[in-house]
Chains A and B, each alone.
Chain A
Amino acid sequence: MSNGEKKEAWPWKDEYGDYSLVPVPQEELRSFTSIFYVFMGVLACIAVLWGGATLGLQFTLKEALWVAVIGSLILCVIGGFTSVIGGVSRCSTYVNMRYPFGMIGSQLFGTIIAGIACGIGWFAVQTWLFGIILHTLFPEAPWANVGVAAIWGGILMMTTAIIGFKGLAWLSYLAVPFFILIAGVGVMIGVAGAGGFAGLAQLKPQTPTTFGIGVTQVVGMYIAGGVITADIARYARKAVGGALAWIIQIIVFQVYMLMGAVALTLATGAANVAQALLVGGAGIGAFLMAILGQWTTNDNNLYNGALSFNTWAHIKKRNITIIEGLIGTAIAAYVGFKAGVSMDPFMKFLTLLGKILPAIGGVLIADFYIYRWYKKITFKERYKAKPGMKISLFNWVGWLAMILGTVIGGWLVKWGIAALNALVFAAVIYIVLAIIFDAVGVKIELGEHTINEKGV
């Protein structure tokens, strides 16, 4: 800070840890590299490689490249918008949701989409998948029994989430370069198996499908991450730094990793990337990929979940992380020990919960960029919380737009990309209703709550 500048006093008290309810202070902001690495840590997961493997079963190499690029561009736009919101407010997605949904809405929807879905549900599913992958790689090893691996894997994944943002960054520093290399190894094994690039480009997919379905798969695979980017981007030194980190990781590295898996699948015909790598000769690299890939993603699930629970459970965020981690690990181990039990019904339930996420993102984007502009609030002052400020309990237009957007975009409209439809419909409905009711003098925000210095 220059001599002439006076450092503004930070008026908050971080009672629950990791700035879960208060803005991140200036001295805790992180470099572009750190933000980029943490974003990459979420991306560097087996799910992305499996997504690529699915594309490999459906498209030729050239088609898959276009599908990956178009899908990634859509994610760039969504995540770019939400990242800037976090960069300006310095608060998590669930605290930002207080503005377009009211205090109760942020607690309720935050808990549904991040607390229950990510923090417990997807954490359990990924931990169980971790057990499945290890068991596939080492079928004879007792430590790789699905239930046993789920227990130690779950505990392992909890450790970095308990530390908080620093833990996520630390692990990402370790895992991300490795994951980038292993995707490259996938390409090499694919190219070698097909007898060169020309041979790979000639290979036909097993179950061809349409371009639109492919783009939907790419967008759907990561739109949840795109909506909650503020959880990480709030730490970026510059408001646009988080957005830039997000865009680069999506358009460059997501496409790259998807294509690594596409090449591997086209050449081997196997959709299980870990197994394909092992069979292809990646050795211990396949094992490390299974561990690091699930770990870097699942600690983010726990982290985001704990942030959302903290909006109403006013205990240390670390304790919330431990509780949700233990519940998730117990579910994963239970399913793992019950041989033959599938997680499909559970995953369908979580997917159902996730259907409201794009609409929430749409309302958030519309409120921040358009409604606040219409209300003549300067860009830097939008979503700027201060101790003692009043916030509504219930923003009924936000709720209505979210519900209608989800139903119309997610179910009723049969064309386009469902998640993107829900996001756009919710945004349009919110902005139209909010401006109309504002113009005729009908209050859209009901009730009042005063924020204290702990952010509660």
Chain B
Amino acid sequence: MNFKKYTQIMMSILLLFAIIIIVLGIAVWSKNVYTGIIYLVIAGIQFFGIVFLYPRIGRIDDLHEMGNRSVPHNWVVLSVAIAGAALFLAPFFRPDSMTIPFIAFVLCILQVIVSALNILFAVKKVKARMIV
């Protein structure tokens, strides 16, 4: 698959996950405001980290440069997703039911996997720099 297309599809999947976590954050806000805040902060950072990548890779055709631009955005999603996975199940952020935290946790784990694969793919396929 074309690298540009691959990146856009994968980033769209990550964006979808981030939007779901935002919705979950809004849903839990009334039960525990701190839980709502942490969900919105984590997903918000991911959302903007992903959204800003679209125009950055849309304008260029050089695949190597595209990879270089994609890597730091995926690092942001990856590291914030690790934080989300660690914090969403924490007792301080638990609302009454464990369903929402568990869904958010699973989404974060998926984000960790997808963004790590994206970085690996960019480094292997288009020789992007892992550290920019």
Contact = CB atoms under 8 A, between A and B. Distances in A.
A, B from the same assembly? yes
Interface of A: 30-31, 33-34, 166, 169-170, 173-178, 181-182, 184-185, 188-189, 192, 280-285, 288
Given A33-B72, A181-B80, A173 B131 contact: yes
B93 interface: yes
Contacts of A189: 92
Given A170-B131, A185-B38, 9 more contacts: A34-B131, A173-B75, A174-B75, A174-B82, A177-B79, A178-B79, A281-B92, A281-B93, A285-B90
30 contacts: A33-B72, A33-B132, A173-B75, A173-B131, A176-B79, A177-B80, A177-B83, A181-B80, A182-B87, A184-B38, A184-B41, A185-B90, A185-B92, A188-B38, A189-B92, A192-B34, A280-B92, A281-B93, A282-B90, A282-B92, A283-B87, A283-B89, A283-B90, A284-B86, A284-B87, A284-B89, A284-B90, A285-B87, A285-B90, A288-B86
B83 A178 contact: yes
Contacts of A170: 130-131
Contacts of A173: 72, 75, 78-79, 131
Contacts of B131: 30, 34, 166, 169-170, 173
Contacts of B76: 177
Nearest to A181: B83
Contacts of B20: none
B65 to A, nearest CB: 13
Interface in B94-132: 130-132
Contacts of B83: 177-178, 181-182, 285
Query: What is the interface residue range for chain B against chain A?
Result: 20 to 34
Closest 5 CB pairs of A and B: A281-B92, A283-B90, A281-B91, A178-B83, A177-B79
Interface string B31-71: 00010011001100100000000000000000000000000
Contacts of A34: 131-132
Contacts of B72: 33, 173
Contacts of A175: 79
Given A188-B37, A284-B86, A174 B92 contact: no
B82 A178 contact: yes
Q: Which of A181, A188, A189, A192 has the most CB of B within 10 A?
A: A181
Given A30-B132, A173-B131, A281 B86 contact: no
A288 B86 CA distance: 8
A348 B97 CA distance: 50
Given A31-B132, A188-B34, A188-B37, A177 B87 contact: no
B6 to A, nearest CB: 21
B94 to A, nearest CB: 8
A167 to B, nearest CB: 9
A318 B63 CA distance: 33
Contacts of B37: 188
Nearest to A167: B131
Nearest to A289: B86
A285 B132 CA distance: 28
Contacts of A285: 83, 86-87, 90
B79 A188 contact: no
B129 to A, nearest CB: 9
Nearest to B82: A178
A182 B87 CA distance: 9
Contacts of A282: 87, 90, 92
B62 to A, nearest CB: 16
Contacts of B78: 173-174
B104 to A, nearest CB: 14
A178 B91 contact: no
A239 B53 CA distance: 28
A282 B131 CA distance: 30
B44 to A, nearest CB: 12
A188 B90 CA distance: 13
Given A174-B79, A176-B79, A181-B41, A283 B91 contact: yes
Contacts of B34: 188, 192
Contacts of B132: 30-31, 33-34
B55 to A, nearest CB: 18
Nearest to A184: B41
Contacts of B91: 281, 283
B113 to A, nearest CB: 14
A284 B45 CA distance: 21
Nearest to B132: A31
Contacts of B45: 177
Contacts of B80: 177-178, 181
Contacts of A184: 38, 41
Contacts of A280: 92
A176 B82 CA distance: 11
